[in-house]
Amino acid sequence: MYVILDIETTGGKYNEEGITEIAIHKFDGHKVVDQFISLINPEKEIQPFVVNLTGINNNMLRTAPKFYEVAKRIVEITEDAVIVAHNAQFDYRILRTEFRRLGFNFERKTLCTVELAKQLLPEAESYSLGKLVRSLGIPVSDRHRANGDALATLQLFKLLLSKDLDKTIYKSVLRTESQGELSSRQLDMVDELPSETGVYYMHNKDGEIIWLGKSSNIKKRVNQHFTNNSPNARRIQKETKRISYEKTGNELAALLKENAELLRNRPKYNTGYKRRLFSHGVYQSINQDGYITLSPEAVNPSKKAVATFNSLQGAENFLQGIRDEFQLCNKINGLSKARTHCSHFEDNNCLGGCINQEPVEAYNLRVSQAIDKYSLSNKSILIMDKGREIGERCGIEIKDGVFKGFGYFNLNHQINNIHILESIITPMEGNENTTHIISSYLRKKKILKIIDLNR
């Protein structure tokens, strides 16, 4: 017996979502023998993007039953049945969380139609429910509503059953509560973790760190470790007896702390960590006409890079970006092989350096401005970002272009007094990896403020 199930939620922080709608169709392999469809009052606000996606709003749910009022019906209709859902791990997690809030341990076997489809329909272009059922000619109405998606999943499941000729596929995707779901001990460990940014440490019975990582949602990331079925993940699950963590408040501090802690602790299972986090750089030189050139190259330890990247494409994309921002020349920077002027000269996005029309001094001034903006070289700054709690700020110190460490501040005078600032900063080793982490982050993400420490 199967129960094809779909759940809509409020959205929000991991494991803090509430159910807004549920649809369950009990299927005996041939026909639907029972069903339960209901809106649910989640007793919390729905995220605006979810309202736009599903059309379910807070007013619609005010008179709907609360979860505890329908919990018995859900237990009864799912008893002795396998839960079938598209991305079953999500729906099952949401249900288990709701029942756990009521003090009830809800356990069922699950079957995921995403996993089934990947094995039985390997040529599919997409495995998202909407695209997959459309490609199979399965009609779907009320997309992103529980019953519409549940009925589409039911039709998909029927098709997949017909394709499973040797019946062995179930053995690889059918999970018991101990596979792909958390044990009571693991649930207790995850419950104690915050849904915040920081670094987490997984310890064995002797207290040794066997894995560490950073995440913008520690609780969610550790839960993924515990539900992963890879051989390495299973070894980590078996050995983990305790989890500790440190909140950092922002992702840049988490990246820097993770880098430092990996080098210091060398955990047993973090074997894939790279000694050098980048493979390419942008390097400057002077061409025969006196123009400063910026060229993308594989890492050259004998040269100092303006900026570093994980790929050649990343370095070239950076040069294309600053070309537009500072009106630089693709031909001078080696991105164009034009015999005369580059293609951007005619639309005035290049001022003619490629044909020696622009004065060298004027062009080089803009290159220097670009380098100054995107390079940490010789800078002494304090990067200010979010702290671990309201009213707190995190300061990341760079001195003469080298990362020195970071600390947390509550009062402005702590930031403005260099002696107090340096006493609060926790010293950390600066190297080419920390420079790469910081400069890459500043290119891609927004931070609150940068303070010039030389002023």
SS (H, E, C) 250-303: CHHHHHHHHHHHHHHHCCCCCCCCCCCCCCEEEEEEECCCCCEEEEEEECCCCC
On average, the pLDDT of the chain sits at 87
Asked whether residue 176 carries a pLDDT value surpassing 60, the answer given is no
- Band (pLDDT 50/70/90 cuts) for residue 199 is very high
Query: Residue 178 has what pLDDT?
Result: 42
Amino acid in the structure at residue 286: I
Q: Where are the domains of the chain?
A: 2-173, 184-265, 280-374, 381-452
Nearest CA to 322 out of 312, 313, 333 is that of 333
- Band (pLDDT 50/70/90 cuts) for residue 231 is confident
Asked whether residue 175 carries a pLDDT value surpassing 50, the answer given is no
Share of the chain above pLDDT 90, in %: 47
Between these two residues, 279 and 391, which has the higher pLDDT value?
279
Asked whether residue 413 carries a pLDDT value surpassing 60, the answer given is no
Query: Residue 95 has what pLDDT?
Result: 93
Partners of residue 155 on adjacent β-strands: none
Query: Residue 281 has what pLDDT?
Result: 95
Asked whether residue 134 carries a pLDDT value surpassing 90, the answer given is no
CATH architecture assignment, domain 2-173: 2-Layer Sandwich (3.30)
CATH 3.40.1350.10 fits 184-265, yes or no: no
| pLDDT (average), residues 204-213 | 90
| pLDDT (average), residues 303-308 | 93
